[in-house]
Structure 1
Amino acid sequence: MGQHLRVNLTAEEHDELRALIDRGRSPARTVTRARILLMADRSQGKRHTYQDIGRVLYCHPDRISRVCRRYVLEGLRAALYERPRTGAPPKVTGDIEAQLVFLACSDPPDDRKRWTLRLLAEQMVVLGHIDSLSNVTVYDRLKKTKSSLGR
């Protein structure tokens, strides 16, 4: 198991964490992280192990270790708040969704009675609105429009 990093909060940080907990408006994860830091604080003379803190706060010791490590290496803000998550931007934007709805409301091709999800996805690619599109994405986007094409 890794080395325990010593958390030594300043008086200002201690007061800030207490205020964050007492305010009652912060997300539960942030409050739990604040409680972890307060219990792991060695400047108050108390020495709690990660297992003790975990039992009191119903957290796994690994989580406590991560919070303490982030505090020591990156500071209070990094320990309390999550980093922004990276991720691909959504493929279907508002104007592409509008094109999809417009296509779904139009008449289907001559050899078909109605549009299928797969046919809509293929037609969106053929028309050049988007590079690739799955039928599941078409289903999800049309479902969010709350329109019923069957009526």
Structure 2
Amino acid sequence: MVDFAQFVKMLVDEEYPDVENIRLVMDNLNTHKEKSFYEAFGEGEAEMILSKIEFHYTPKHASWLNAAEIEINVMDIECTDRRIGDMEILTHEVTAWTRRRNDDEKKINWGFTRRKADKKLSKYYV
């Protein structure tokens, strides 16, 4: 719990200090809740951090992780398929790969259609 809260605090304080609202899309893991911030920092600091965060949780029973796993696999094949013993080189390599992938507008051909999602997830709809 503390690791997650500290990571988000770093986003708020160091990475995006001038941003009013940071939207986080994540799974429903129990550490990804507001309670983590109160346990890690206390009420005042937790509320300051949480005032800048907007949580968006993925469905509990959807396969959203597949997209992330596919992208990580492509990165491993195209970029990190070897031992890289230096953090600076690793950072440079992954940054260059990410830029190239984004510039080429690479996409995942996702076969899970809305119709399939509606059928599979309909019992979870309110």
Q: TM-score, normalised by structure 2?
A: 0.22
Q: TM-score, normalised by structure 1?
A: 0.19
Q: Which has the larger radius of gyration?
A: 1
